[in-house]
Chain A
């Protein structure tokens, strides 16, 4: 008994070793002898897949009608006329997620703002502005600890941020009481501007604009008569799905409305329901982590109707994970696309391509810098300056109403192609 067991375990070890050797040899034999296989694999790689990316397509208003992008506009240049004078140590602050799971968004904003500050400083020897970084990890609780530091730093004239809606709601009162300008490049919760804060402005359309705009665009411009609205179970997904469903009206197909869970990877029941319904399009309200497997399983399941989603999915990761299945997907976003010149300068400065909200970070920092260049030297003055500001940026025209919302809030439609 004992002996056989030992022999058997020896055999098992041998087998294990053999398989290890086999797998270890795999790449070598393919590189050395099996030129043919390596050849075909690179061929499929280069020839088979055309590089897909998220490309801006049109800009729409709240009725879903296409709006000409302000191509002829003259975007503000952070450099100004080069004659700015300001006190030494003048600073602006940036608060948002710089580490943690959502750091990509915070960094996009920071790098955009950094580029604007660098351009400003290079052109204005008489005024050197620094940008002070405050990491909130995107967490409302952390943000409440960081907020007093920002307020307490006397050199800070204005704040770019907070980045997310949750942290903005949690810290808004602190900044409001301190009279510090809070200029957000990405907080889209509609309720934020209903708090009576006179110091809060956001540089993009809110969620209450995105839902109806996209819904009307699908019905009026794309002429979809029946849309399956699928949402995940996050606050974002549920809120968006509700607005889309309302905006679609009769075009929202009850038969194939579905709700999936954040973190799920298998959507076979939802795919079956949608494939059984006679719909013109699928709208997914949620994030790319679920949208990628979902669109792939839709396509694998033979559902070829257009796939529409919003800013939660508008991320290069969506394309890289869904691959060919993502082709033709329509993605909306309140964020503006990056012009080529900006993209090149940004890539040189940040070492990566501009992402969602990079342009907003740049534009909003530019507005604050132009305020400083115009002679504003205190916090109240900067709030005043922004409240009365009107001018073009890279992404859009910036002009705010008394609540802090953009006067003309437009949504961009992107397409994967």
Chain B
């Protein structure tokens, strides 16, 4: 967290050196680029939303803010990258052109690879770091510190250990050389703003995955178990719900969605696969979860999309260096009026 605070202070103090005024209220710019900003914001927001679900579910069940979730996402990026390498793709400057069908198939397999790695990491994290603490009845502060510690452990693993294990193919100081399967192509325009195939794929996949998760939580027996534990762990255990299993499942779902988000993210930012690449995105996704109401699945989706869009608007109106300030001021303002987030903390309480 200090890094973030430092960055915030830095971006705030750095502003006047380059720009004439500290804050420029560029409403004309917002009007000019409104649709483009909205579409881009929704695309990025969709990725926030998927990652935010991981924070929200774990919080709902364990009352734990799993700060290592950003690294689960990061490992998901490496997972899908490794899968593409296994499939015989090589990093190259240009995008591959495989035709729609094969591209979708390969992306599907890569997404699966990302999901397996991220899901496995999330479950492993729970086993190695959190379960032993829970067994010993550690106070919640210890969980929080453990989460932050694991976040660094996973980052430095990819930073220093992974390159040694893979002979320098994966991990290390620099970002991975991108493998691109999809070249963005404009499909149609909304209000003069182009909508590319990548944008469509990201927003649609994110919506489908979020809805599927929502159905899973609200309609299936496992979902009922998760909601029961979230609402009242003791009673749920008395009623025969295995708390440990529910917790594992919760981490698994969060990890799988982070893996899916990782693939969607790399479609948009193919050169973002780096050990530190999950950190900032994780913080934003966490904010999105709080914004929508942490513990609330639909809140995570709404919070993610809203944060993505508002960040973009804010950057144009106030200047690009105010990006994080806009995001967190929005968060604070919303929390002042709705302390439990826009939709409230209701994973357990809704339709139980």
> Looking across the interface, which residue of chain A has its beta carbon closest to that of B120?
A16
- Chain A residues near B173 (CB, 8 Å)? 101
| A4 and chain B: residue at smallest CB distance | B221
Does chain A have a CB within 8 A of B315? yes
Residue of A nearest to B113 (CB): A23
Docked pose: A5 CA to B221 CA in angstroms: 9
Interface residue stretch chosen among B137-145, B148-156, B176-184, B293-301 = B176-184
Residue-wise interface mask of B (210-236) relative to A, using a CB-CB cutoff of 8 A (1 in contact, 0 not) = 000000000001100000000000000
B10 interface hit (Cβ, 8 Å): yes
* Contact A48 B92, beta carbon cutoff 8 Å: yes
Cβ 8 A contact of A297, one of B221, B269, B316: B269
As a 0/1 sequence over residues 230 to 249 of chain A, the CB contacts with chain B under 8 angstroms (1 = contact) are 01010000100110010000
* Chain A neighbourhood of B324, CB < 8 A: 261
Inter-chain contact B86/A27, CB cutoff 8 Å = yes
- Report the Cα distance A154→B281, complex, angstroms: 52
Evaluate whether A323 and B87 lie within 8 angstroms (CB atoms) in the complex, with A20-B116, A270-B320, A292-B175 already known. no
A44 close to B316 (CB less than 8 A): no
In this complex, what residue of A is CB-closest to B280?
A: A263
Kindly list chain A residues whose C-beta atoms are within 8 Å of the C-beta of B222.
8
Complex interface: stretch among A250-258, A306-314, A349-357: A250-258
Q: Which of A16, A269, A321 is in CB contact (< 8 Å) with B315? A: A269
User: Taking chain A's interface residues, is the majority helix, strand, or loop, or is none over half, making it mixed?
Assistant: helix
In contact, A45 and B116 (Cβ under 8 angstroms): no
Tell me which residues across on chain B come within 8 A of A38, comparing CB atoms.
Answer: 88
Interface: A194 (CB within 8 A): no
Scan B77-106; emit 1 where CB is below 8 A from any A CB, else 0: 000000100111111111111100010000
Whole-angstrom distance between the alpha carbons of A374 and B224 in the complex? 87
Within 8 Å by CB of A276, from B11, B29, B311, B320, lies B29
Minimum Cβ distance to chain A for residue B191 (Å): 13
B15 touches A269 (CB 8 A): no
State whether the Cβ of A220 lies closer than 8 Å to any Cβ in chain B. Answer: no
Asked if residues A259 and B321 are in contact (CB atoms below 8 Å), the reply is: yes
A41 within 8 A of B: yes
B92 touching A19, Cβ below 8 Å: no
Which among A261, A271, A289 is the interface contact of B175 at CB below 8 angstroms? Answer: A289
Residue pair B18, A259 in contact (C-beta under 8 Å): yes
CB-CB under 8 A from B116, the residues of chain A are 16, 19-20, 23
List residues 183-215 of chain A with CB under 8 A from any CB of chain B.
none
Determine whether the beta carbon of A23 is less than 8 Å from that of B92: no
Say which residue of A30, A265, A270, A292 sits within 8 Å of B87 (CB atoms).
Answer: A30
Q: Is the CB of A323 within 8 A of B180?
A: yes
Counting chain A CB atoms within 10 Å of each CB, the highest count among B270, B277, B319 belongs to B270
Q: State the Cβ distance, B88 to closest chain A Cβ, in Å.
A: 5
Inter-chain contact A19/B112, CB cutoff 8 Å = yes
Q: Do residues A273 and B175 form an inter-chain contact, with CB atoms below 8 A?
A: no
Residues of A with C-beta under 8 A to B43: 268
Residues of B within 8 A of A83 (CB): none
Question: For residue B180, which residues in chain A have a CB less than 8 angstroms away from its CB?
Answer: 323
Minimum CB–CB distance from B168 to chain A (whole Å) comes to 13
- Interface hub of A255, A270, A323 (most chain B Cβ within 10 A): A323
CA distance A40 to B173 in the complex (A): 31
Given A233-B11, A269-B315, is A238 in contact with B44 using a C-beta cutoff of 8 Å? no
Secondary structure of the B contact surface, majority rule: helix
Chain A hits for B11, CB < 8 A: 233, 259, 261
Beta-carbon contact of A44 and B94 below 8 Å: yes
Any A CB within 8 A of the CB of B124: no
Distance from A274 Cβ to chain B, minimum over Cβ atoms (Å): 10
Complex Cα gap A275–B331 (Å): 29
Q: Mark A1-27, 1 if CB is under 8 A from B, else 0.
A: 110110011000000100110111011
Question: Quick check: A272 and B242 within 8 Å, CB to CB?
Answer: no
- Other-chain contact of A300, B175, B196, B274, B315 (Cβ < 8 Å): B196
Find out whether the CB atom of B44 lies under 8 angstroms from the CB atom of A41: no
Smallest beta-carbon distance B166→chain A, Å: 15
Considering the chains assembled together, what is the distance between the CA atoms of A110 and B54 in angstroms? 47
A5 to chain B: which residues have CB within 8 Å?
242, 245
Task: List A contacts of B98 (CB < 8 A).
Answer: 37, 40
Tell me if A302 is interfacial: C-beta within 8 Å of chain B: yes
Task: Give CA–CA (A258, B116) in the complex, Å.
Answer: 39
In the assembled complex, which residues on chain B have CB atoms less than 8 Å from the CB atom of A19?
Answer: 112, 116
Q: Is the CB of B18 within 8 A of A44?
A: no
Interface flag for A131 (CB, 8 Å)? no
Cα of A293 to Cα of B273 in the assembled complex, Å: 11
A403 within 8 A of B: no
B196 nearest CB neighbor, chain A only = A300
Q: How far is the CA of A268 from the CA of B86 in the complex (A)?
A: 31
Q: B269 touching A272 by the CB < 8 A rule?
A: no
Among the listed stretches B33-41, B59-67, B128-136, B342-350, which one makes contact with chain A, having 4 or more residues with CB under 8 Å of it? Answer: B33-41
Taking the closest CB of chain B, its distance from the CB of A212, in whole angstroms, is 16
Give Cα distance in the complex from A351 to B116, angstroms.
39
- Which of B36, B112, B276 has the most chain A CB atoms inside 10 A of its CB? B36
A292 and B271 in contact, given A26-B86, A41-B96, A233-B7 (Cβ under 8 angstroms): yes
Residues of B bordering A, CB below 8 Å = 7, 10-11, 14-15, 17-20, 29, 32-33, 36-37, 40-41, 43-44, 83, 86-98, 102, 109, 112-113, 116, 173-175, 177-178, 180, 184, 186, 194, 196, 198, 221-222, 240, 242, 245, 268-272, 274, 276-277, 279-281, 311-312, 315-316, 319-321, 323-324
22 A-B pairs with CB atoms under 8 Å apart are A1-B240, A41-B90, A41-B96, A44-B97, A45-B92, A233-B11, A245-B18, A255-B29, A260-B321, A261-B321, A266-B269, A269-B37, A269-B320, A293-B269, A293-B271, A317-B175, A320-B91, A320-B93, A321-B175, A321-B271, A324-B93, A324-B95
State the 3 A-B residue pairs at the shortest beta-carbon distance, nearest first: A323-B93, A269-B315, A268-B40
Given contacts A22-B112, A38-B88, A321-B177, 11 further A-B contacts (CB under 8 A): A48-B92, A231-B18, A259-B19, A259-B321, A265-B271, A265-B272, A265-B280, A269-B320, A273-B33, A297-B269, A317-B175
